[in-house]
Structure 1
Amino acid sequence: MTELTGGPSLPQERRVVTAIPGPKSLELQARRSAVVAAGVGSTLPVFTTRAGGGVIEDVDGNSLIDFGSGIAVTSVGNSAEAVVRRATAQLADFTHTCFMVTPYEGYVAVCEQLAELTPGDHAKKSALFNSGAEAVENAVKIARVHTKRQAVVVFDHGYHGRTNLTMALTAKNMPYKQGFGPFAPEVYRVPVAYGYRWPTGPENCGPEAAAQAIDQITKQIGADNVAAIIIEPVLGEGGFIEPAKGFLPRIAQFAKDNGIVFVADEIQSGFCRTGQWFACEDEGIVPDLITTAKGIAGGLPLAAVTGRAEIMDSAHPGGLGGTYGGNPVACAAALGAIETMREMDLNAKAKRIEEVMKGRLAAMQEKFPVIGDIRGRGAMIAIELVKDPATKEPNAEAAGALAKACHAEGLLVLTCGTYGNVLRFLPPLVIGEDLLNEGLDIIEAAFAGL
């Protein structure tokens, strides 16, 4: 099944034949150290030769189970047939003209798909860009020109990018902000509904956190000064935090009541990752603007801002764009990725991944008290690790040790969280269930070895 594997020659199996990283990866790492800036990190320095389905093959012949998907990018796999086919055909026709010079159909077709797939039945328009951070920056530009206001509200534990403005929007200092200031002004941070750590318990978290956030906006900023409220419907880098029920609808209603543009940052959570096309659908949220990237194009660089036509049209001609934005090859890949998501019903596959993972992880939690919380939706699942379940003191050391143990056994996992104590799991939505369970076996053995 080429859709799953990226080609029949890539076996869907874990294979560890050297230490990880192996000798050839170590040689390449030495070359890298000489010429690549130290600030560019890697979770696991094994050098990839092929990838697809649920595995990554390295230069030493190891085949690793992939629970990272390039940070939620390769949801359809690293070499999905429709993505490769469409992108290859576009490469043969032309690689670039710049949509702002002479346009092409692929850009329009992607915008048509976005208008159809994103929440709400209102008239929608899109603008295409290269990266998630670029999409968020442009959402702020659009909101400011539409409202003629300046202030932007974001939330504790949020992550929105590494550019100057998006660093200001991002909550976590290290490694994203340390030493890189000063940052863009008129950015204000308010509480988010983090149920696991809410002082009065998760059952009270949604309404109490919303009341606190709205009170701070009203008193400290002034609702009439706010251009945009930006939130991830499932907070990614901050620890896969699902805002407690009721929080997002209340914040969205507050925005609507006060003429504030409500922006859903679906860069990590969008395109079937949570078992729905977009995570904000879970509570019926219809954002004014939605930012997308990562899973949109099967690994090629593409991002978008999609929203209400009257808001999107607020920017003057020439005010939005960029040389590479909506590159024709990336647009072709996006159409292939969306084709794959529809044909394989990847929302259903994401829900099945959640069922398997949460069942296995819940059984582990009963045996290993270091697991304080299991959360997330679809194939966006995380466990928060603590030193003591009673105090919930973060255990970043355990997260690091577990990731290292998994890597040594040929399972790629990622960490995250404001406190560095969360293991996050982002398997490709096309991963085979045998590989999924084998990866969970490795995780369980790593816990037993702590």
Structure 2
Amino acid sequence: MSAIPQERRVVTAIPGPKSQELQARRTAAVAGGVGSVLPVFTARAGGGIIEDVDGNRLIDFGSGIAVTSVGASAEAVVRKASAQLQDFTHTCFMVTPYEGYVAVAEALAELTPGDHAKKSALFNSGAEAVENAVKIARAYTKRQAVVVFDHGYHGRTNLTMALTAKNMPYKNGFGPFAPEVYRVPVAYGYRWPTGPENAGAEASAQAIDMINKQVGAENVAAIIIEPVLGEGGFIEPAKGFLPAIAQFAKDNGIVFVADEIQSGFCRTGEWFACDDEGVVPDLITTAKGIAGGLPLAAVTGRAEIMDAPHAGGLGGTYGGNPVACAGALGAIETMKELDLNAKAKKIEQIMKARLTAIQDKYEIVGDIRGRGAMIAIELVKDPATKEPDAEATAALAKACHAEGLLVLTCGTYGNVLRFLPPLVIGEDLLNEGLDILEQAFARI
């Protein structure tokens, strides 16, 4: 567990004076396009706590956007990465390789869905992994079109901006975007016109019809979907949707890519969110939770698909950096030793019970959804019309921040509060955070 005391402490206004001084320096030196949810500057973090430069300790319901699932200073991650730092920081795997990269690829082959022969390629970021999944799928199928979904988020590079659904803040003013990208409906149960019980079958039929009519299945290299949509609002596609899309891909020689960058590595109470409906993707992209906070990403998939690009066609100077690989092996060791899948399920049980009690009191809470420690509430002005309430969402987040609880927002309409606590958070801290949330609802 973390060396930082696992208790909330608010000793100054948030942000405090030292954070404000640093913010002034930041404003002068850092590009304005780089935003921050909460301008408190971190001094240390671990377990379920972020300690800032003013000595405030915040309860962390963000995990650096689902990254520090094992905590922000997990012992095994620090130990293995520190040992690797002593030995060497870099050789470039494409120049002289090293064992850590191979060991991470072996672990990914073991943990990802399916028992087929698998191979991996390692990169630095989620966007890079998605971009490379498209390259691999195109090399394998000799086709060009890529199909993505409403509310999907896949990154900030040119190609992944094209794959991403939401304009602000991700795409606005940054075009033109990569061509041959087609968007189809997703089974968003809460907002499906005929109700959540019909969403899976109807949305998959609509999506497949659109692909056939507007693109032609024979032109599609890859279908890419997040098994739980992240930035789009923690949307769990209605049951039956993912298996239907995966089957359509299989029937038509299309590479089915699961983007598990936010949902992978125990976050949803299973190693991967795909496991929930037994969907086995052809390729799976991972990043965020993989390495305890060190920059690492991967594409893992069927060996024959992964081997389609020519030698030298995949890579990158820092891809699979040795220190990040060591961190990943430490993170995976921690996930297994502490059974973080079980921890995530326990977090879900506690959070959903508390959030349901809030929903019973306040009709602004339109929907509670998600799995494991990837939980969200969607806020609406009127439960009958389901009109999104982005203003209340922002106000609630701000009220939580002021009391020392870090929460994040998301959603295509900006009206979703999302909760991504570290999987190692103590139940006392988790409940205290939910107390603060409840008080914020009472005030707002």
TM-score, normalised on structure 1?
A: 0.99
Q: Which runs of 4+ in 1 moved over 6 A?
A: none
Aligned partner of 1:263 among 257, 262, 266: 257
- 1:61 alignment partner in structure 2: 55
From 73, 78, 97, the counterpart of 1:84: 78
Give percent identity, aligned residues only.
87
Q: What is the DSSP-based 3-state SS (H/G/I as helix, E as strand, rest coil) of the residue aligned with 2:370?
A: strand
Where 2:350 maps in the other structure, the secondary structure is: helix
User: How far did 1:15 drift?
Assistant: 0.1
- Please give the root-mean-square deviation of Cα atoms over the aligned residues, in Å: 0.3
* 1:283 partnered with 2:277: yes
Structure 2 distance, partners of 1:424, 1:231, is: 19
Q: CA deviation at 1:253?
A: 0.1
- Mapping of 1:118-129 within 5 angstroms? 118-129=112-123
Amino acid at match of 1:293: A
Residue 311 of structure 1 deviates from its aligned partner by: 0.1
Is 1:303 aligned to 2:307, yes or no?
no
Query: Partners in 2 of 1:400 and 1:200 — Cα distance?
Result: 29
- Return the offset for 1:37: 0.1
The aligned counterpart of 2:314 is 320
Question: Is structure 2 residue 236 aligned with structure 1 residue 248?
Answer: no
- 2:191 maps to 197
> Which residue in the other structure is 1:162 paired with?
156
> For residues 112 and 222 of structure 1, what CA distance do their matches in structure 2 show?
36
**Alpha-carbon distance in structure 2 between the residues aligned to 1:110 and 1:206:** 35
Letter in 1 for 2:118: K
CA distance in structure 1 between the aligned counterparts of 2:359 and 2:381, rounded to whole angstroms:
13
Q: CA deviation at 1:435?
A: 0.2
1:95-174 aligned at under 5 Å gives the runs 95-174=89-168
After superposition, give the CA deviation of every residue in 1:410-430 in whole Å (9 maximum; x if it has no partner). 000000000000000000000
Query: Residue 397 in 1 paired to residue 391 in 2?
Result: yes
Q: Aligned residue pairs: how many?
A: 444
CA distance in 1, matches of 2:429, 2:39: 22
**Partner amino acid, structure 1, of 2:402:** A
Give the AA of the match of 2:371: R
For the residues of structure 2 that align with 1:363 and 1:58, how far apart are their CA atoms? 32
AA aligned to 1:447 is F
Alignment of 1:227-238 (within 5 A): 227-238=221-232
Distance 1:285 1:386 in 2: 32
Matched, 1:208 2:202: yes
Task: Decide which of 28, 52, 57 is 2:46's aligned counterpart.
Answer: 52
Work out whether 1:28 is the aligned partner of 2:17: no
Whether 1:372 aligns to 2:386 is no
Counterparts of 2:46 and 2:54, CA distance in 1 = 17
Distance in 2 separating the partners of 1:262 and 1:78: 32
Partner Cα distance (2:411, 2:115) in 1: 35
| CA–CA separation in structure 1 for the residues paired with 2:184 and 2:106 | 35
Residue 346 of structure 2 is aligned to residue 352 of structure 1: yes
Shift of 1:51: 0.2
Q: Give per-residue Cα distances to partners, 1:144-163, cap 9 Å, x unaligned.
A: 01000000000000000000
The 3-state SS of whatever aligns with 1:428 is coil
Task: Provide the residue aligned with 1:183 in structure 2.
Answer: 177
SS of 1:275's partner is coil
Kindly provide the amino acid, as one letter, of the partner of residue 216 in structure 1.
M
- How far is the alpha carbon of 1:227 from its aligned partner? 0.1
Q: Which amino acid aligns with 2:208?
A: I
Q: How far apart are the structure 2 equivalents of 1:268 and 1:60?
A: 30
Q: SS in structure 2 opposite 1:336?
A: helix
Give 1:358 shift.
Answer: 0.1
Q: Which residue of 1 aligns with 2:415?
A: 421
Q: Deviations over 1:396-445 (max 9, x none)?
A: 00100000000000000000000000000000000000000000000000
Q: Deviations over 1:120-158 (max 9, x none)?
A: 000000000000000000000000010000000000000
2: CA distance, partners of 1:374 / 1:426: 14
Q: Shift of the alpha carbon at 1:364? A: 0.4
| Paired position in structure 1 for 2:442 | 448
Distance in 1, Cα, partners of 2:201 & 2:229: 18
Segments of 5+ residues of structure 1 without an aligned counterpart are none
Q: CA deviation at 1:332?
A: 0.1
The one of 412, 425, 429 aligned to 1:431: 425
Aligned match of 2:331 in 323, 337, 343? 337
Identify unmatched segments of 5+ residues in structure 2: none
Letter of the 1:15 counterpart: R
* 1:339-397 Cα deviation digits (max 9, x unpaired): 00000000000000000000000000000110000000000000000000011000000
Aligned equivalents of 1:99, 1:346: Cα separation in 2:
30
Q: CA deviation at 1:113?
A: 0.1
